[in-house]
A and B are shown apart, each in its own frame.
Chain A
Amino acid sequence: MPQWGIETKTRASRAFLSVAAIVVAAGIAAPLFLSRSTIQDLFFILTMLVLAQCWNLLAGYAGLVSVGQQAFVGFGAYAMFACVSLAGFDPLIAIVLGGVAATLLSLPLGFFVFRLQGAYFAIGTWVVAEVVRLLLAQWRALGGGTGTSLPNTATRDMWAARLVADLLGVRSAQALDILTYWLALLLACLTMGFIYWLLRTRQGLGLAAIRDNQEAARSVGVDAASLKWAVYVSVAFVTGVCGALIYVQKARISPDAAFSVIDWTAYVIFIVVIGGIGTLEGPIVGVIVFFLLQNTLADYGSWYLLVLGLIGIGVMLFAPRGLWGLFTDRTGIQFFPVRRRLVKRQEDASTDALQGGRDG
């Protein structure tokens, strides 16, 4: 008698796991052989990837289309600035506190936006993000509407930055870039690990069920409201940490930049849409395309955003599952499979033997 069991892993995903391990190892070693500007580029890519994965979890899985994620980026960044400039905390601790602050902010904001349904939820998140921006622009101690800079000494005297400087024999400014890059790499790995883990749990299955049909999901006992709240709050935490990290590296903040709907939400939406919404691989593909486009069109000013917008519209109309969706439709390859499949557990049975059913 063959034994039956439930599997999500495939041969491709096992192979990908080892490739991913090599990529991460190369990423850790990158500062040893790459230039400072390349490290800064990689930092940018990794932080955008984190924001994209967060938005993807919200919109692609929980059905919460938010146009207001800049609220959490900006609030996390401002909380970090307050902890460092006003309370004298180490920036590393302040980054985590930035995430905590964003989480706390998400509770009252969620209370308001969850009163709005579907498409109105989207504009509601935008409104509350505007309110947070306007309120923080009143905070004189942090520069009001014009913003402020991190004290030079705060980032230079960070113990971790000095450790990196001593270890690699680099100047303090470069050490800060390398440190923030490593933190971004860590944050990206943890975020993707968390999301992948979440999608493979019971709650993840519930999320997929809500995405496909909320009424049907509720009828079989999925608590849609609580799941959505949990996703909204945990995404706020990660987004806040990411915002704080971005602004440790930038070291200069203003309400208009920290709460920019273009930088922290529009780019992120285009990354996810172009890459493929509702998959973990999509944002990775999207962020690479986004970075290449940005480098190619960097000299053309607003043409860049115009082209990005047109590509986003085109993808949504003609390939709504994005570039990754096109690829996976043709090859069936998934690097982060979450589909539960019934497999025969025999001594050398191929676990790929049984394919079938839709994603999810």
Chain B
Amino acid sequence: MNWLDTILQGVLLGGLYALFAAGLSLVFGIMRLVNLAHGDLIVVAAFLILVLVTGLGLNPFLAALVALPVMFAAGWALQYFILNRTLGDDILPPLLVTFGLSIVIQNALLEGFSADSRRVPAGSLETMSLPLGPVTVGVMPLLTFLSAIAVIVVLNQIFYRTALGRAFRATSDDMVTAGLMGVEPKRIFATATGIAMVVVTIAALYLGTRANFDPTIGPARLIYAFEAVIIGGLGSLWGTLLGGIIIGVAQTVGAAVNPEWQILAGHLAFLIVLLVRPRGLFPRAID
């Protein structure tokens, strides 16, 4: 059952990519901001978790729990003090500022942690697996996938069931009018980026425990996240999960054929979808 196993691994990997993508999608959906430093922020969170695990001897999950409020605050401040200044009709300032931020983060991490590959030790969980019918799945990949589903459910609940979500949607539709109704767009945006950073921290937990990472891998994570968002169609988080799964399956199948084709196969799957359905599989937003 080699192929079935390969595809299942790909689906579970897709959960990780969906976690990468959910924060990107959230921020773009609310303030039309594409954060080119998104991948690097995932790596920052992974290093934060690593420091908590190795420095304080915490369990990785507990470390992630400690990192969550820190990253929320960092995201809130980043948006409130820097990125809010770049928002407007011109797409250049946000792109260039976040691109600069990406370079700054990579090099600051290189200075602080060197270029060595790291991994967050997760103890026995790393190798634990469950027999699932004809195949066995690792516990960590399965947890990743279930977390992705949980994150999407929670984000959708926040978005459509709470006052905060209403403010998000209102600001996204019409910033000025929302402002007249007592919503403060700057704070709403800061909160949104804070929430995105919470998702980023969850993604970082699984990124750090499942494979090696180093300060320069951020941009590749941004690209996978972006591909998942575009394949799924802007504005649909479930579509993003499907996009992540498509990239993940393409990568594991590509790697099974020839290990050198892993990344390429994922990109080609994205290009094919872009060719056939330029607006993604489940387009929702009209912009």
Do A and B share a complex?
Answer: yes
**Range, interface on chain A:** 35 or more
Could you say which of A128, A145, A269 contacts B99, with CB atoms under 8 Å apart? A269
Which residues of chain A have C-beta atoms less than 8 A from B86's C-beta?
A: 316-317
Query: In the bound complex, how far is the Cα of B230 from the Cα of A309, in angstroms?
Result: 28
B93, CB-defined interface residue at 8 Å: yes
Which residues of chain B have C-beta atoms less than 8 A from A266's C-beta?
A: 99, 103
B85, B93, B95, B278: which has the most chain A beta carbons within 10 Å? B95
Could you say which of B93, B107, B230 contacts A303, with CB atoms under 8 Å apart? B107
Which residues of chain A have C-beta atoms less than 8 A from B264's C-beta?
A: 131, 134-135
Which residues of chain B have C-beta atoms less than 8 A from A302's C-beta?
A: 106-107, 110-111
A342, CB-defined interface residue at 8 Å: no
A290, CB-defined interface residue at 8 Å: no
Query: In the bound complex, how far is the Cα of B229 from the Cα of A124, in angstroms?
Result: 12
Name the segment of B126-134, B161-169, B199-207, B267-275 touching the other chain. B267-275
**Do the beta carbons of B226 and A120 come within 8 Å of each other?**
yes
Which of chain A's residues 128-161 have a Cβ closer than 8 Å to chain B?
128, 130-131, 134-135, 137-138, 145
**Do the beta carbons of A303 and B111 come within 8 Å of each other?**
yes
Query: In the bound complex, how far is the Cα of B287 from the Cα of A120, in angstroms?
Result: 12
Shortest Cβ distance from A115 into B: residue: B278
Nearest chain B CB to A216's CB is how many angstroms away?
13
Q: Mark A267-305, 1 if CB is under 8 A from B, else 0.
A: 001100100010000000000000000000000011101
Query: In the bound complex, how far is the Cα of B278 from the Cα of A303, in angstroms?
Result: 40
Which residues of chain B have C-beta atoms less than 8 A from A127's C-beta?
A: 223, 226-227, 267, 270-271
Query: In the bound complex, how far is the Cα of B274 from the Cα of A16, in angstroms?
Result: 47
A327, CB-defined interface residue at 8 Å: no
Query: In the bound complex, how far is the Cα of B110 from the Cα of A57, in angstroms?
Result: 33
Say yes or no: A310-B219 contact (C-beta < 8 A), given A119-B91, A119-B95.
Answer: no
Which residues of chain B have C-beta atoms less than 8 A from A67's C-beta?
A: 36, 99
Which residues of chain B have C-beta atoms less than 8 A from A63's C-beta?
A: 91
Query: In the bound complex, how far is the Cα of B235 from the Cα of A122, in angstroms?
Result: 19
Query: In the bound complex, how far is the Cα of B41 from the Cα of A171, in angstroms?
Result: 50
Which of chain A's residues 57-81 have a Cβ closer than 8 Å to chain B?
59, 63, 65, 67
Shortest Cβ distance from B270 into A: residue: A127
A117, A130, A134, A316: which has the most chain B beta carbons within 10 Å? A316
**Do the beta carbons of B97 and A122 come within 8 Å of each other?**
no
Could you say which of B82, B103, B227, B271 contacts A317, with CB atoms under 8 Å apart? B82
Q: Mark B245-286, 1 if CB is under 8 A from A, else 0.
A: 000000000000000100110011011001100100000000
B15, CB-defined interface residue at 8 Å: no
Nearest chain B CB to A178's CB is how many angstroms away?
34
**Do the beta carbons of A138 and B260 come within 8 Å of each other?**
yes
**Do the beta carbons of A123 and B34 come within 8 Å of each other?**
yes
Query: In the bound complex, how far is the Cα of B226 from the Cα of A306, in angstroms?
Result: 25
**Do the beta carbons of B108 and A126 come within 8 Å of each other?**
no
B13, CB-defined interface residue at 8 Å: no
Nearest chain B CB to A111's CB is how many angstroms away?
8
Shortest Cβ distance from B260 into A: residue: A138
Shortest Cβ distance from A320 into B: residue: B93
Query: In the bound complex, how far is the Cα of B100 from the Cα of A269, in angstroms?
Result: 9
B: which residues have CB within 8 A of A? 28, 32-34, 36, 82, 85-86, 91-97, 99-104, 106-108, 110-111, 219, 222-223, 226-227, 230, 260, 263-264, 267-268, 270-271, 274-275, 278, 287
Q: Could you list 30 A-B pairs, sorted by A, with CB under 8 Å?
A: A65-B92, A67-B36, A112-B274, A115-B278, A117-B287, A122-B36, A123-B34, A123-B36, A123-B226, A127-B226, A127-B227, A128-B271, A130-B223, A266-B99, A266-B103, A302-B107, A305-B107, A306-B103, A306-B111, A308-B103, A310-B100, A310-B104, A312-B103, A313-B97, A313-B100, A316-B96, A316-B97, A317-B82, A320-B92, A320-B93
Known: A127-B271, A310-B100. 5 other contacts (CB 8 A): A131-B268, A269-B96, A302-B111, A306-B104, A313-B101
A: which residues have CB within 8 A of B? 59, 63, 65, 67, 112, 115-120, 122-124, 126-128, 130-131, 134-135, 137-138, 145, 261-262, 266, 269-270, 273, 277, 301-303, 305-306, 308-310, 312-313, 316-317, 320
Q: When A and B form their complex, which 9 residue pairs have the shortest distance between CB atoms, in order from nearest?
A: A119-B34, A309-B104, A309-B103, A302-B107, A306-B107, A313-B100, A312-B100, A115-B278, A302-B110
